[in-house]
Amino acid sequence: MRFVAIKMLVGDRAKYLGIVMGLAFASFLITEQLAIFTGLMTRTFGFITDTAIADIWVMDPKVQFVDDIKPMQDMQLYRTRGVDGVEWAVPLYKGLLKAKLENGNYQTVIVIGLDDATLIGSPPVMLKGQAADLRRSEAVIVDTVGAAGKLSKPSPVPGQKRIPLAIGDTLEINDNRASVAGICKVSRTFQSQPVIYTTYSRATTFAPKERKLLSFVLVKAKPGEDVKALASRIKAVTGLAAYTRDEFKELTIRYYMKYTGIPINFGMAVLLGFIVGTAIAGQTFYSFTLENLRHFGTLKAMGTTNKTLLGMIVLQALMVGSIGYGLGVGAATAFGKLVKDTELAFRLPWQLLVITAVAISLICVFAALLSIRKVMKLEPAIVFKT
Amino acid sequence: MTIQKNNPFPCDEETSTKAVAVHCKGITKAYGSGSETVNALNGINLEVRTGELTMLVGPSGCGKTTLISIMAGILDQDEGDCVLFGKNFKSMSDLEKTRYRGEQVGFVFQSFNLIPTLTAAENVAVPLLIRRIDRKTAVQKAGETLKNVGLGDRLNALPAQLSGGQQQRVAIARSLVHEPRLIVCDEPTSALDHETGFRIMELLQYAALCADRALVIVTHDPRIFDFADRIAKMDDGRIVDVSDSPQDMGK
Ligand SMILES: Nc1ncnc2c1ncn2[C@@H]1O[C@H](COP(=O)(O)OP(=O)(O)O)[C@@H](O)[C@H]1O
Ligand SMILES: [Mg+2]
C-alpha cells in the first residue's frame, strides 16, 4: 500500500508541490536564520579565535565579554608570570582610539598592542608585510577591511573608487604618527571599526595617559599542565579572572545572549519559519487528506486496516518532509555560498541541520497527526454516501 | 468493449448448491438521537444466497444503503444479527471485520470511487495490495481482470480519461479481482445512461455472478429489475416483499 500512498500524494501535482514548497520554505528560513545567528555569535569572539596561541586569558574580574575592556595595573602581568605552571605570560592592550586620516577626518579604530619582545597575539593572516615589521618605529599593521573601507582615501579624481590604505601611508592616532607597515586579515567581529595592530609600548603611548593600561594578560601553560587547573590557580593567586580560551568565548557569547536583542530577534525569525511552515505545510497536508478522505474511506471499506492507513499517511508526511527539508537546506547552503564573501555572518555547522530536521519533523508530525486523527475516525460507511 | 466469450471466472452453477451468504435477523438501525432520531431500519429479516443476484429496491430513503452497509460489514446495526458466511459481525473486533471485508467483500459504488491518481490497472490491483500481494503480481492480475471486463486496452488510463461506463467497469474489475464471496453494489447504474447501465448489469450478471458468490445490488431503477434472481422490496426501513420472479413486481 506504500505504492498507493505515494501515488495518491504525488499524483496531485499542485497540492504536492504546495506542501513540499511550504516545508522547503520553512526549512530554508529556519536553517538560514540559525546559520546567520551562529555566524553572528561566532563573530562575537572573533578576536579570541584570532589569538589562538593563548591558553588562558587573564583580566579584570568585572570583564563581561571580549570587547569589554577593564584595564589592570602592569604589575598584574608579573604576578601572573609568577604562578606555578605558567610557561609564559605577555601583556595585551586593546582599546578604541581616534585616528586622524590624511584628509583630516577622524575614525575610531581598535588598537591592539602586542608584547614588544615576542609580538604574541599578532594577526592570524598577514596579507602584506609581516608581524616583525612592527619593530620599526611608528609601525602599525592595519586590517584589510578597514584599510579598504573606513581608512581608505578618496580618489584624487572625483567620483572614482576610493584608494585603500597601503604600506607607507601614515595616520595619526591621538596625535602620534603611525606608519602602515603591513596589511592583515582578521576574523570579523561585532565591532565594525578598523583593527590596528602595534606593539604594547606604542599602543600605550597612543592611548590617553592613564594609571592602568593593561587589558589582558595572555598565558601559555607549561607542556602537560592542566589548563583549567592553571586558570584557577592564576585566579587564586592574582585575584583576577582567568579563563581558558573556550571559557572566554563562552563568557562572551553568554553576554550577547543575555544582554542583546540578537537571540530574541533570531529566535523570533526561527519561530516564524516554524509557524509559517506549520501553517502552510500542515494546512495543505491536512487539506490534501481531507480531499482524499473519500478514497481513504474506500480503502477502509475494502479492508485496509487503520494501521496500514496510518502507515500510509506517515509515509506521505515523511516523503514531503524529507523532500522539503532537502530543498530548504540545499537552498540555505547555496545562500551561504553566495554570501560567503560579504558582510553577512553565516555559519552552518552540522548541528544546525539536525535542529532544522527536528523542526521539520515536528511540522510533519503535527500535519500528519491531524490527518491521521481524521482518517482513523473515518466511518467506512461514508463510501455509499454520494 | 467486447466481453470475452469464455468466462474466466470459476463459476460452476450446475454442480453447486445455493448456500446462505448473508443472514440478517431482526436488524434495526437508527441515526441520530433525541428528536432527531431517524429509524432507518425497523427489523430486517433477509437471507441472501450465493449464486443469486439479489436486488434491494424501494423508494429513496427507505434504508437500502443502510442495509447493504451492514451486510458488507462497514456499518454496525443497533439490534439483531448479521451473519456473513457463517460469521457474525457482532462477534468480531473492528480489525477482524476489516480483514474479513478485505477477503470476502467486493464493492461497487454509484460514483465509482476510483482513486484518480492511479491507473485503471493500479486501481483494480488495490484489493490485492491490501492483502499484501506484491505489486507486480497484483497489477498483472488486475490487468487480466480488466481484460475480462473488456478494458484490456485501457490498463494504463487514468480514471479521468475513461467514460463513466468504463470507470464502472474498472470498479467492477476491482470488486472481482480478489475473488470475494459477496459483492455489494449501491446504485451501480444511477450515474450512467440507460444503455450503459444495461451493459454494466450484463457484465455484473455475467462476470460477477457465480455459484459460490452472492451479488446484492441496490437500485431504484425498475428498468434493470429483470436482471434479478430475487428482489427484496423495501419501504420505510422494512422488507415489504421478497419475490423470486421479478415479473411479479408489477412493473
Ligand atoms: N449518516 C446518516 N445520518 C443521519 N441519517 C441518515 C444517515 N444515513 C442515512 N440516513 C437516513 O436514514 C434513512 C435511510 O437512508 P438510506 O439507507 O441511505 O436510504 P436509501 O439508500 O434507501 O435511499 C434516510 O431517511 C436517511 O435520511
Ligand atoms: Mg441509497
Q: Which ligand is nearest to the CA of B59?
A: 1
In this structure, the residue with its CA closest to atom 6 of ligand 1 is B31
For cell 467492477, name the residue.
B172
Residue B2 predicted with pLDDT over 50: no
Q: Which residue of B has its CA nearest to A3?
A: B135
Q: Dump pLDDT digits (tens) for B58-74.
A: 999 999 999 999 999 99
CA–CA separation, B148 vs B87, rounded Å?
31
**Assigned domain for B205 exists:** yes
CA–CA separation, B228 vs A344, rounded Å?
79
Hey, how many other C-beta atoms are within 10 angstroms of the C-beta on B196? 17
CA–CA separation, A86 vs A221, rounded Å?
5
CA nearest A229: which of A30, A56, A356? Answer: A56
Taking CB atoms within 8 Å and a gap of at least 24, the contacts of A367-371 are A367/A278, A367/A281, A367/A282, A367/A283, A367/A285, A367/A286, A367/A317, A368/A285, A368/A313, A368/A314, A368/A316, A368/A317, A370/A282, A370/A285, A370/A286, A370/A289, A371/A285, A371/A286, A371/A288, A371/A289, A371/A313, A371/A317
Determine the length of chain B. Answer: 251
- Which chain A positions have a beta carbon within 8 Å of B157's beta carbon? none
8-state DSSP, A303? T
Q: Give me ligand 2 centre to Cα B75, in Å.
A: 14
**Assigned domain for B229 exists:** yes
Q: Where are the alpha helices (DSSP H) in chain A?
A: 2-11, 13-44, 46-50, 75-81, 144-148, 200-206, 227-238, 245-259, 262-277, 283-291, 293-301, 306-338, 350-376
Q: Where are the domains of chain A?
A: 2-43+261-384, 73-239
In this structure, which amino acid lies at residue B114? L
Instruction: State the average pLDDT over residues B195-200.
Output: 92
**Assigned domain for B34 exists:** no
Least confident among A240-249, B12-21, B143-152: B12-21
- Residue B155 grid coordinates: 490498463
Within 13 Å of residue B19, how many CA atoms lie on the same side as its CB?
A: 13
Are the CB atoms for A165 and A147 separated by under 8 Å? yes
Q: Residue B251: its pLDDT value, please?
A: 43
**Which percentage of chain B shows pLDDT scores above 90?**
81
Q: Residue B246: its pLDDT value, please?
A: 58
Q: Residue B213: its pLDDT value, please?
A: 94
Q: Which residues contact B153 (CB under 8 A, 6 or more apart)?
A: none
- Phi–psi pair at A220, nearest 5 degrees: -110, 135
Instruction: State the average pLDDT over residues B207-215.
Output: 88
For residue A21, the SS3 value is helix
For cell 604618527, name the residue.
A177
Ligand 1: residues with CB < 6 A are B 31-32, 38, 40, 60-66
ipTM comes to: 0.91
Q: Residue B9: its pLDDT value, please?
A: 53
In this structure, the residue with its CA closest to atom 12 of ligand 1 is B40
Q: Which of B84, B115, B183, B192 is the best mutation test for A, with the most CBs of A within 10 A? A: B115
Could you tell me the residue range of the domain that residue B207 belongs to? 50-74+94-250
Q: What is the mean pLDDT of each run of 10 residues along chain A (386 residues)?
A: 93 89 89 87 88 94 93 93 94 94 88 94 93 92 92 84 90 91 89 92 89 93 94 94 95 89 83 81 85 93 94 92 94 90 82 90 85 90 84
CA distance B96 to chain A (A): 9
CA nearest A220: which of A87, A358, A119, A129? Answer: A87
**Assigned domain for B243 exists:** yes
In angstroms, what CA-CA distances link A236 with A5, A84, A138, A228, A229? 67, 12, 38, 12, 11
- Provide the CA A352 distance to its chain's centre, in angstroms: 12
Residue B26 predicted with pLDDT over 50: yes
Residue B250 predicted with pLDDT over 50: no
CA–CA separation, B53 vs B44, rounded Å?
19
Nearest to B113 among A7, A294, A379 (CB): A294
Q: Give me ligand 2 centre to Cα B186, in Å.
A: 7
Are the CB atoms for A203 and A111 separated by under 8 Å? yes
CA–CA separation, A225 vs A221, rounded Å?
6
Q: Residue B245: its pLDDT value, please?
A: 63
Q: Residue B6: its pLDDT value, please?
A: 46
Q: Residue B214: its pLDDT value, please?
A: 95
CA nearest A51: which of A139, A120, A131? Answer: A120
Are the CB atoms for A233 and A148 separated by under 8 Å? no
Q: Which ligand is nearest to the CA of B64?
A: 1
pTM of the shown model: 0.78
| Domain total in chain B | 1
Sign of the torsion angle spanned by Cα atoms B236, B241, B244, B249: negative
CA nearest A196: which of A169, A220, A218? Answer: A169
Task: Say yes or no for a CB contact (<8 Å) between B129 and A8.
Answer: no
Q: Give me ligand 1 centre to Cα B44, in Å.
A: 15
- Which chain B positions have a beta carbon within 8 Å of A379's beta carbon? 74-75
Q: Give me ligand 1 centre to Cα B63, in Å.
A: 6
CA distance B241 to chain A (A): 24
> Hey, which residues does B81 pair with through a beta bridge?
B25
Residue ranges of chain B whose CB lies within 8 Å of a chain A CB: 65, 68-69, 72, 74-75, 94-95, 98-103, 105, 107, 109-111, 113, 115-118, 122, 126-127, 129-131, 135, 186-187
> Hey, which residues does A220 pair with through a beta bridge?
A88
Residues with CB under 5 A from ligand 2 (ion): B 65
